[in-house]
Amino acid sequence: MEEKELKTDEQPISAGKRSALLRYIVILFAFAFILVSVSLVVQISSSNSVISDLTSSSSGAIARAEELQATNRALEDELEEQKARNTTLREAATNARQDQRRQQKAYDALLILMTTENPDGDLDYAKAIETLTELRNCLPDTAQALVDQYLDAT
pLDDT digits (tens, 9 = 90+) for 9-47: 567 778 888 899 999 999 999 999 999 999 999 999 999
Domain for residue 132, yes or no? yes
Domain for residue 95, yes or no? yes
Q: Single out the residue of 124, 123, 120, 114 nearest to residue 154, CA to CA.
A: 120
Mean pLDDT over all residues of the chain? 87
Task: Give 133's contacts (C-beta < 8 A, 6+ positions apart).
Answer: 151
Q: Nearest 10 degrees: CA dihedral of 116, 142, 136, 103?
A: 90
Domain for residue 11, yes or no? no
Classify 23 as helix, strand or coil: helix
Instruction: Give the model's pLDDT for residue 7.
Output: 53
Domain for residue 3, yes or no? no
Average pLDDT on 119-138 reads 85
Q: Nearest 10 degrees: CA dihedral of 99, 103, 106, 112?
A: -140
Domain for residue 102, yes or no? yes
Residue burial 36-51, b: 16+ Cβ < 10 Å; e: rest: eeeeeeeeeeeeeeee
Tell me: pLDDT of 59 over 90. no
The structure's pTM equals 0.52
Domain for residue 28, yes or no? yes
Domain span at residue 64?
18-153
Angle at 123 between CA 119 and CA 129, to 5 degrees: 70
Tell me: pLDDT of 6 over 60. no
Domain for residue 1, yes or no? no
Alpha-carbon distances of 137 from 15, 119, 127, rounded to whole Å: 132, 23, 17
Classify 45 as helix, strand or coil: helix
pLDDT 10s digits, 72-102: 999 999 999 999 999 999 999 999 999 999 9
Average pLDDT on 112-127 reads 82
Classify 12 as helix, strand or coil: coil
Domain for residue 54, yes or no? yes
Structural domain count, the chain: 1
Residue 104: CB atoms within 10 Å: 12
